[in-house]
Structure 1
Amino acid sequence: MDDLHLLDASSAVLLRQLLDAGVVRLIGTVRSGQTVGDAVDALTGGDRIHRIDLNTFSNDQVEVVLETALGAAIGRRTLRDLCSASGGNVLYLRELVIGALQSKKLACDGEIWELAENTVSATPKLTELVSARLETASEDSRDLMELLALCEPLPLLDAESKVSLESLTHLEDTGVIRVTASRRRTAISLAHPLYGEVLRSHLSALRRRQLLLEQVERTQTYGARRREDPLHIATWLLAATGTADPVQLLQAASLARHAHDFAQVDALLQALPLESHTFDSCRLHGEALAQWLGQWQRGETLLAEAESRARTDYERIAAASLHSWTLFWMGARTAEAMQVHSRAAREITDPQCQLLLKMNEGSMHTFSGRPIQGMTLLEDLEESPPQDQFAMEVWAFAALCRTAALTFTGRSHEAITWGNHAYDSYPATADQVYGVHPVAQLNTLALALTDAGQLDEARRTCERAVATGVAARVPATWVWVALIRGRLEWMAGDAPSARHWYAEVIAQCHAHQLLRPLQLAYGGLAAAASVLGDQEAAQKALDAAESAPPSETFTGEEKLGQAWLLATQGNLAESRSVLRTAARQAHDAGHKTSEILLLTDVARLGAAREVADRIGRLARTSDGPYSSARAHLAAALAADDHDLLQSAATKLEAIGSHLLAAEAATAAATAWRRDGHPRRATAATNLAHQCMTHCSGVLTPLLRTAETAHSLTPRERDIALLAASGTPSKDIASAMHLSVRTVDNHLQRAYTKLGVTTRRELSEILSLRS
């Protein structure tokens, strides 16, 4: 029975008698803060009554509930919005989700559930529930609640001008308002975010205008002494009358930027008359739209206007940097970004501004497939950020890009040292900086930790960055750490997690019009789906990747999806060809870490002898145990040596690269068994199984063929895998540039070695998925 506190006395007495007689078992609810009568109090008391107090759900609990109910992963931004709107109240959460599903504002793309941006709203039923909750407030408190719905938080003095201290105490006791104290200031706000939405929905336009103008007058009467008062006054005037003084709007927009309220910056500056726009207003508005609100096309137009209005070298560098950043990072329009940079370089003569341009150029080179050029420009970056605010923002971008450049070029130990230094240095002096959030430094630090083989520490760093980035509403920052996290989980072998994070990136890129990470995310999603046996999802991701602009960032790694789909379809030769081409691109770009990753996959897919020496040379010029462990794996696979394979598995397991460790251990078990060491083979198999507990649902060619195909030659194995997947001999011959007779001869020898006579039996013994 819901709402026991509403029971009349007679019903409560009857229920108590039935309980005492053992006739019924009662499960009932009482809402917090509700007054109950003596009869209901007697009903809910006694030794036989078990009481459970339900607290609001934490974010983690909300995530579990939503993913269980919806049957798929929930996006981090969507989780944040629903947690914020519901306040952790499960009843409110349920209604919000039902309403969003019915209005199709909450949808799943097949991978992840996402809510359309800024669309959390109350349903009619939820409005009724909240309205009933607010009815506990006295009638004389209505004015205050309506004012709070429009202007919260309010100073205590303003609240006392509306109601008595006794009424305020009652509102706080019943959970309608929240009172917070900071130093000498006490502020009043509504206790739940939905209360304001429901109260505003009942306000007429004239009533809104009256309340807002009264609050403006009240604030001005007190002298508008607080720092945020100009922002509030301009915002209230704009909401009440549709206009405000241009000077007030500009001042308010600057304060909104300081408060990270970029939606308010947009609203205020949209109201600014055309003739009142300045260089500063165009730059401020363009930055808010492009970097924070996911509207980079609108922002880019305003930044181009700011660039045309620039009159000093400082203004030119400020406009050009923001403009080029927007084109480069948001729109993936590298050539245009470089043109903006070059134009500024021709016009700027101030040495300090020229240095800032150099850092900006180095940042773009680093993430557009030219890390060596980027490192050259960023090598002498000062260790401490400058004091000037804009110069500090350029330094921050350059600092995180320097971490990446060091990582890409194989200097991961230096990258970790520098990345920690940049993160520790920047936040301490960055309380006035908004263009680059301090958490952005964690992104490339996590990247460095990953490629150094410190996967657990990289994962913890990613968690910090995602949590901070989502809470601070900085999509352009946390989308990149989600991409880095997806890459980390792929390298660890946790394909389900990698798939989830890549899906997060794709959803957020579409929501915020971020184009640069898209191709990499689609490729990563395709790779993860492939090794999980979901070839349909992998192909869908690859099809979508074709319309995405070139990623350039992790040179060659965008081809992982194509390669692994081919591999899981049994076409190992073509898969290796794709990976070799991608590795050459990484080599030409100077991307050592990507080249090692790609060549390791070539080794895993049956061509270790071809690439082992090159991986070894790369590992000797790269920092960290991960590079040397992968070189060890390639050499062990090339030699087919049980001791080398066993030690490679141990090294990779210690790093946390569980899938590579499982493959090495599986190959070791096969080699031990072949050479007559069954006990050692069993130990290696146990290690493989232990590692595979971290790689749920993953199946790779090396895992499925090591036990059954150790006697096959590389060509026999390639042909057997293609045949087992249903590829006709004619198509195999075409793909491998052989005659049909040669294919059939190799296939017949494979049948003999494996003790099978048909392709169906071949498919079963190789454990191929349909």
Structure 2
Amino acid sequence: MHRNNRNSVLRRWPLVGREAELSGFDEVLPEARSAGFLIFGPAGVGKSRLAEECLDRAIALGYRAGRAVATAAAASVPLGAIAHLLPDGADLSDPVSGFADVAALLSRPGAVRPRMVILVDDIHLLDATSAMLLRQLMDAGVIFLLGTVRSQEGPAPAVSALGHGDAVRQVDLAGFDRDQVTRALERVLEGPVGRSAVNHLLATSGGNPLYLRELVVGAVDAGVLTCDGEIWDMTADRLPGTRRLTDLIRSRLAVAPHAGRQVLQVLSLYEPLSLAHLEQDAEPEVLDQLERSGLIVVVQEERRTAVRLAHPLHGEVLRADMTARCRRDTLLRQVRLLRRTGARRREDAIHLAAFELAATGTADPGLLVRAAVLAAHAHAYPRALDLLRAIPQDHRDFRIELLLGKTLYEAGDFQQAEDVLSRADAMAATEQEVLSALVVRTQNLMWGLGTSYAKVLDVIESARCRVTDPLGRRVLLVNEAAAALTVGEVRHSLALTADLEREGTHAPDAQTWLWAAMTRSMALAVTGRGEEAEGWIRRAIAFGSTAGETRATATQEVAHQAVLALALAESGRLAEAREVGEQAFAGLPDATATADRRMLAFYLARGAWAAGHPAQARRWFAEVARSSRPHTPVMLSMALAGVAASAALQGDADAAEAALAERGRLPATGFFPEERLGEAWLHVARGELTRARAVLTVAAQEAFERGETASEGILLTDLVRLGEAGEAGEAAGRLAEIAAECTGLLHRSRADLAAAWAAHDPDGLLAAADALEATGADLPAAEAASTAAAILRGAGQSRRANAASVRAEALAARCEGARTPALMAREAAVRLTGREREIALLASRSMLSKDIAAALTISVRTVDNHLQRIYHKLGITTRKELTERLLR
């Protein structure tokens, strides 16, 4: 879906994540001994929404129903909340006889559903008379009570009266977790949602379903949450919300006393703050009251006790309601408190600098530098950038410019990072400063901006003129190796790292070794040597996990996990690669550098493609594409090609065409052989198998010449899957050579698949299916089993054919609706010749004979003759039947 609006979001907002509670209600409602179902939870967690769904289910089952809402005003009048539910003629002047009257009038003896289900919202506000009457009716089996209770209101007599006993089921609703937020968003927006957007919405809403809905409505209305045709994501950091959301939060904050409001205002401007700091300006009783009211949370963080606002949105509203003078006075008061205590704690420097800067627009330059270093170390990049940019120009030296450039890179602002880092390079006065600037700058050029190899080499050569130390020269070589790898100069990259020490403990410089080991691991994986690649990256991870100067940076840790996922995939352990990659991605803070997130997401996408899971692959490729616009054309080109291939494999030719059209408008950035998969599989989706095979043949040759054996293996395997015995035989020879050169089950199973496909060998195909399934390559395994089934059935071995067919169906069920020639028309795909199959696929897509003839450069008569033979072989007589047979 490409568009959305407020009304559609509200109309479709789903009840997700509450399946267990709904099941519990369905279970207790019919039980004669059950009397009620009470839903506890904080405001906005979805108690009323769940209760309404439960009541609707009861009505659908034939129960009579009633609704009531308890309020503080109604509680001042006995039976005020439920008076409208009481039957006419009931006299409650005498409680004993009145109860009997109500019970008799509400009862339906002998009815299939004798009890009435009554929903009461906010039971904790019921008056005592209403609570007593409802309890009597529950105990008498006249009604089944369905109620909601706000859990932060403290004990209430009505809740005690109505909730006690085993006959009443009580459930506690918590806020949504990440999975529940994702499911809700994707059902509402009717499409995948980027992980950064999910994280942002989860963090801002605190998992509160009501807040989440209002944030989504506001973000869609304001154009902050948009879809690029593939995936929904954020276009700005700030979520606008809605007026209703602001009013809800204001009413929630209104319970705070004046002194408590001051504490909340301080936290809205900067959190977390230590409890000891806040206690200097607020009485302990005030803090206790705020905590009991659910407005602040107090947590232990290592050796200090920290205080935060209970909900991120509280800060948004508090800040919006503060005048400029109030904000300034509040900040300066905190500055005085910190200076009074000497600002001894490590984080006090950040607090002091941030408070002074926000209050006055300036701060001591030395303090700003110290605070920026601490903020960057804590991955608080936006705060670090604010502090660094506030340093006066006449106080900026090489160290400040380098830190600013590095922080901009980590924050994903690659062009500004290049501008700053080039200035830092010009300011470098020592060889160490030259190298420090070079390392960050080349990383930004390669992984951030996707700059050409020639420009990166120019930067390295410029540094080489100023570096004479052997260790410094080694850093330059590693930079060159990494740059060579990014543009496909794989052999050169491996040559530059050929003498790398196998263990980091033997290296003269720990950080250089870590970078070189990662680069070498990637190069080995690209050449198909997955097991060697895994060895190098695991040694790098182990060495980088040690304490001290050798410890890997946060950026390196993410990159290491991405390369490990790549190496595992190339080793033929696709499931393990996915697990490693997804676990690493789930643990990424939003502050993680965009380049590293992209690399990890890309390898997850590539692994999903290799497994034959097009929906997963398409989603990951779309994440990479979204985060690559508009600054990183190299990654964007690769991601769009992946989107096209995945969409085509799902039969979505329109989406594939759109992705390739956007890719075609990008500036030329080099050629990566696997990118041709998008073009090839679009041809397949159109039924143009000859063109698809031609594209794959050229791309495989290009990969061979560049030494990118892993890509070559993928391309040749797809060529086998789309070709006939002769073409499969040509590819099988090269795949056998690759299997001999590169260890690993994946290469061997691909070679065996090609050999069996070429030989029309059902036993070989079934053995290849076993081997491919073991690697996690479900789609090629399904195709192998399907093809074997057709061959066996043609040979009259129906029992074995049926077993192979069942096997193929089970494997294909994992492939997310993938549509390939080998899976469509499982029996017909083998019984038809290659030319017949291609013509059949084109005809099934409503192409006229003359159009088919033009596409294949043959005569119309030849097309018609082929179609007659196809109809005869398949036992059909029309193109409609052909479409049903091939696309079922």
Q: What's the TM-score bracket when you normalise by the shorter of the two chains?
A: over 0.9
Query: TM-score w.r.t. structure 2 length?
Result: 0.82
- 2:123 is aligned to none
Q: 1:134 aligns with which of 253, 257, 261?
A: 253
What's the CA shift string for 1:610-629, capped at 9, x where partnerless?
A: 31111111111112010110
Q: 2:883 aligns with which of 736, 755, 763?
A: 763
Backbone CA RMSD of aligned residues: 2.5
Structure 1 pair 521–139 and aligned structure 2 pair: CA distance change class (3 A): same
User: Is the CA contact 1:112–1:504 (under 8 Å) kept in the aligned structure 2?
Assistant: yes
Structure 1 pair 661–173 and aligned structure 2 pair: CA distance change class (3 A): same
Q: 1:143 aligns with which of 256, 262, 273?
A: 262
Q: 1:490 aligns with which of 601, 605, 609?
A: 609
- State the 1:646 CA deviation: 1.5
20-29 or 583-592, larger mean C-alpha shift: 20-29
Does 1:193 find its partner at 2:312? yes
- 1:601 is aligned to 718
What's the CA shift string for 1:290-314, capped at 9, x where partnerless?
A: x222221111111111111111111
644-653 or 160-169, larger mean C-alpha shift: 160-169
745-754 or 273-282, larger mean C-alpha shift: 745-754
Report matched runs for 1:690-769 at 5 Å. 690-767=810-887
Does 1:226 find its partner at 2:345? yes
Q: 2:137 aligns with which of 7, 10, 21?
A: 21
User: Is the CA contact 1:455–1:488 (under 8 Å) kept in the aligned structure 2?
Assistant: yes
- State the 1:663 CA deviation: 0.5
The letter of the residue matching 1:583 is A
Query: Larger radius of gyration, structure 1 or 2?
Result: 2
User: Is the CA contact 2:484–2:493 (under 8 Å) kept in the aligned structure 1?
Assistant: yes
Structure 1 pair 191–460 and aligned structure 2 pair: CA distance change class (3 A): same
Query: SS in structure 1 opposite 2:710?
Result: helix
What's the CA shift string for 1:168-223, capped at 9, x where partnerless?
A: 22222222222223465322222222222221111111111111111112111211
- State the 1:271 CA deviation: 1.8
User: Is the CA contact 1:465–1:478 (under 8 Å) kept in the aligned structure 2?
Assistant: no
- 1:565 is aligned to 682
Structure 1 pair 581–470 and aligned structure 2 pair: CA distance change class (3 A): farther
- 1:538 is aligned to 656
Matches of 2:285 and 2:639 in 1, distance apart?
57
Query: SS in structure 2 opposite 1:372?
Result: helix
Structure 1 pair 678–433 and aligned structure 2 pair: CA distance change class (3 A): closer
- 1:516 is aligned to 634
Matches of 2:353 and 2:503 in 1, distance apart?
38
698-707 or 730-739, larger mean C-alpha shift: 730-739
Q: 1:87 aligns with which of 206, 224, 245?
A: 206
- 1:322 is aligned to 440
For structure 2, the residue ranges without an aligned partner over 5 or more in a row are: 1-46, 49-68, 81-125
- 1:305 is aligned to 423
Matches of 2:813 and 2:879 in 1, distance apart?
31
What's the CA shift string for 1:95-127, capped at 9, x where partnerless?
A: 222221222211222322212241224432222
Query: SS in structure 2 opposite 1:206?
Result: helix
Matches of 2:867 and 2:707 in 1, distance apart?
41
- State the 1:37 CA deviation: 4.6
- 1:628 is aligned to 748
Structure 1 pair 152–713 and aligned structure 2 pair: CA distance change class (3 A): closer
- 1:423 is aligned to 541
For structure 1, the residue ranges without an aligned partner over 5 or more in a row are: none
Does 1:173 find its partner at 2:289? no
Does 1:587 find its partner at 2:699? no
Does 1:208 find its partner at 2:327? yes
- State the 1:447 CA deviation: 0.6
Structure 1 pair 271–241 and aligned structure 2 pair: CA distance change class (3 A): same
What's the CA shift string for 1:729-769, capped at 9, x where partnerless?
A: 4444444344444444444443443344444443333227x
Query: TM-score w.r.t. structure 1 length?
Result: 0.94
Matches of 1:130 and 1:45 in 2, distance apart?
32
Q: 2:280 aligns with which of 161, 186, 196?
A: 161
- State the 1:385 CA deviation: 4.8
User: Is the CA contact 1:5–1:40 (under 8 Å) kept in the aligned structure 2?
Assistant: no
Matches of 2:336 and 2:830 in 1, distance apart?
85
- State the 1:702 CA deviation: 1.3
User: Is the CA contact 1:672–1:680 (under 8 Å) kept in the aligned structure 2?
Assistant: yes
- State the 1:574 CA deviation: 0.4
722-731 or 417-426, larger mean C-alpha shift: 722-731
Pairs aligned (count):
764
Matches of 2:170 and 2:554 in 1, distance apart?
51
Matches of 2:694 and 2:346 in 1, distance apart?
63
Structure 1 pair 505–95 and aligned structure 2 pair: CA distance change class (3 A): same
Structure 1 pair 181–713 and aligned structure 2 pair: CA distance change class (3 A): closer
Structure 1 pair 752–179 and aligned structure 2 pair: CA distance change class (3 A): closer
Report matched runs for 1:327-338 at 5 Å. 327-334=445-452, 335-338=454-457
Query: SS in structure 1 opposite 2:565?
Result: helix
Q: 2:530 aligns with which of 397, 412, 418?
A: 412
User: Is the CA contact 2:411–2:591 (under 8 Å) kept in the aligned structure 1?
Assistant: no
Matches of 1:417 and 1:376 in 2, distance apart?
18
Matches of 1:683 and 1:327 in 2, distance apart?
54
Query: SS in structure 2 opposite 1:42?
Result: helix
- 2:407 is aligned to 288
Matches of 2:288 and 2:309 in 1, distance apart?
13
683-692 or 61-70, larger mean C-alpha shift: 61-70
- State the 1:480 CA deviation: 1.3
- 2:60 is aligned to none
Matches of 2:580 and 2:246 in 1, distance apart?
40
The letter of the residue matching 2:232 is W
Matches of 2:668 and 2:814 in 1, distance apart?
32
User: Is the CA contact 1:494–1:694 (under 8 Å) kept in the aligned structure 2?
Assistant: yes
Query: SS in structure 2 opposite 1:701?
Result: coil
